[in-house]
Amino acid sequence: MSARPRPKIPRVPATAAPAPPPARPADFEDGPDFVQSLARGLSIVRAFDREHRALSLSEVALRVGLARAAARRCLLTLQHLGYVGMRGRSFFLLPRILELGYSYLASLDLTDLAQRAMEDLSRRTGQSSSMAVLDAHDIVYVVRVPARRIMSIALNVGARLPAFVTSMGRVVLADLREEELEQWLGKATLRAYTPHTKATAAALREELARVRQQGHALVAQELEPGLLSIAVPIRGDGGRVVAGLNVSMPYAEGSRQVAQRTFLPALRIAQATIEDAIRRSGWKPGVDARA
């Protein structure tokens, strides 16, 4: 396992294969291919988060909508496998649960290609830098080089944020073909996180057209007041966007100009370095539902 820390994953409202997942029949869960026990076990794991680090059996059952007997069987199985611990009447996740997410990161390889360039980017700008991929309607952080904390949300590897309202999400969404974007928008939940949020499909389409034309996205105070981020796309060897790379900073008067004048050139250097490493390594995304 890598020496880089794989900390806790915060839960944030709203939704990195670089495209929407393939559609499933509405009655898939009633079909023979749906494994109910697996789905229940995964729902149990997702019941725990930063605000719910330890839960009783009743609390788990309530959060996932299962009968106590079914929740108990899932919890005891997860405990037997080493993913869940128990203290008194409370259950909690054990470090072994990180294996599940790390398996994805280990197979991604993109994180290793990007790490050094992102460390240089963070040193050059004095700000935190991140890389994220699209997973349905969220972005998921796969590399994070923190400089200082400027958000109320703790963002670490594995953190999820709604793609439509983030700079990294927008550079990936801007690469979707028209029919892909319409499919994505048809299933998306857009809501205003602040008075500045572009929370309608029309406004988002217009913004994505701008991002596509200029080759970067700048988001100011749309997800959280006092926060600005600027991102560029990372393209794979085939030319499609596989991730977004950003720098975030506190928002203040004139910060837009600073981001574009100072941070964007530094992002372009890191972008070129990472994309060159992708070409030289022959790396390809494991899954591209748009292909």
Can you give the pLDDT at residue 105?
58
CATH code of the domain covering residue 41: 1.10.10.10
Domain count, the chain: 2
CA distance 59 to 256: 45
| Final residue belonging to a domain, choices 97, 113, 137 | 97
Which residues does the chain have with pLDDT short of 50? 1-23, 149-152, 287-291
Residues 197 and 132 in one domain: yes
The most distant pair of C-alpha atoms in the chain lies apart, rounded to whole Å, by 59
Residues 62 and 106 in one domain: no
For residue 286, what pLDDT is reported? 60
Does residue 32 sit in the same domain as residue 153?
A: no
Note the pLDDT of residue 26: 54
- Give CA–CA dist 103/162, Å, rounded: 23
* pLDDT reported for residue 157: 82
- Tokens 């070129």 locate to 272
pLDDT of residue 12: 39
Q: Is residue 15 domain-resident?
A: no
Expressed as residue numbers, the domain containing 48 is 28-97
Domain assignment of residue 111, yes or no: yes
Note whether 34 and 113 are same-domain residues.
no
Q: Do both 164 and 237 map to the same domain?
A: yes
- Tokens coding 254: 């004139």
Q: Are 72 and 106 within one domain?
A: no
Q: Does some domain include residue 10?
A: no
Question: What SS3 class is residue 247?
Answer: strand
CA separation for the pair 129, 142 (Å, rounded): 11
Residue 229's CATH number: 3.30.450.40
The domain boundary, picked from 80, 97, 114, lies at 97
Are residues 199 and 177 located together in one domain of the fold?
yes
Provide the H-helix boundaries in the chain. 36-46, 57-64, 68-81, 98-108, 110-125, 167-173, 178-187, 201-214, 255-258, 264-281
In a domain, 20, yes or no: no
Would residue 16 count as lying in a domain? no
pLDDT number for residue 290: 42
Query: What does the block give as tokens for 44?
Result: 């149990």
Residue 216 lies in a domain: yes
Q: Of 129, 138, 115, 108, which Cα lies nearest the Cα of 10?
A: 138
Q: What is the pLDDT of residue 13?
A: 40
Domain assignment present for 264: yes
- Do 139 and 216 reside in the same domain of the chain? yes
Q: Which of 185, 179, 189, 169 shows the shortest CA–CA distance to 241?
A: 169
Residue 53 CA to residue 48 CA, distance in Å, equals 6
Helix axes 36-46, 68-81, angle to 10 degrees: 80
Same domain assignment for residues 210 and 111: yes
pLDDT at residue 10 in the model: 39
Which pLDDT value is given to residue 121? Answer: 94
Task: Enter the tokens of residue 67.
Answer: 């009968």
Residue 13 lies in a domain: no
185 and 228 share one domain: yes
Pair 71, 44: CB distance under 8 Å: yes
Phi, psi (deg, nearest 5) at residue 244: -115, 145
Residue that is last in its domain, among 53, 77, 97: 97
Whole-angstrom CA distances from 16 to 270, 281, 290 are 20, 20, 12
Q: Which of 115, 118, 99 is nearest to 107 (CA)?
A: 99
- For residues 265 and 145, membership in a common domain is answered with yes
> pLDDT at position 18, please?
40
The amino acid at 82 = G
Total-model pTM: 0.68
184 and 108 in one domain? yes
pLDDT of residue 4: 45
pLDDT tens string 229-261: 999 999 988 899 999 999 998 998 898 999 999
The structure tokens listed for 123 are: 């040193």
